[in-house]
Amino acid sequence: MTDWHWLALFALGAYHGLNPAMGWLFAVALGLQEKSRLAVFRSIAPLGLGHVASVALAVFLVYLAKGALPQRGLRIGTAVLLAGFGLYRLIRSRHFRWVGMRVNARDLTLWSFLMSSAHGAGLMLAPILLMMPATGHQEHAHMMQMAAVSTGGLASSEIVLPIVVHSLGYLLVTCLLAFLVYEYLGVAILRRAWFNLDLLWAGALIGMGFFALLV
Identify the residue with better confidence: 146 or 66: 66
Q: Phi and psi of 187, rounded to 5°?
A: -70, -15
The answer to whether the CB of 133 falls within 8 A of the CB of 89 is no
Q: Which of 20, 24, 40 is nearest to 197 (CA)?
A: 20
- The pLDDT value recorded for residue 137 is 40
Torsion over CA: 35, 27, 114, 19 (sign): positive
CB atoms within 10 A of CB 191: 8
pLDDT over threshold 50, residue 143: no
Identify the residue with better confidence: 23 or 102: 23
- The pLDDT value recorded for residue 151 is 42
Q: How far apart are CA 126 and CA 147, in angstroms?
A: 22
pLDDT over threshold 80, residue 4: yes
Q: How far apart are CA 84 and CA 79, in angstroms?
A: 8
- The pLDDT value recorded for residue 187 is 67
The answer to whether the CB of 203 falls within 8 A of the CB of 91 is no
Q: How far apart are CA 182 and CA 178, in angstroms?
A: 6
Residue 213: partners with Cβ closer than 8 Å, 6 or more residues away: 75, 76, 79
Half-sphere exposure of 123 (CA within 13 A, CB side): 24
**Mind listing the pLDDT tens digit for each residue in 160-193?**
889 999 999 999 999 999 999 998 887 666 666 5
pLDDT cut 70: percent of the chain above it: 77
pTM of the model: 0.82
Q: Phi and psi of 66, rounded to 5°?
A: -60, -30
Q: How far apart are CA 207 and CA 203, in angstroms?
A: 6
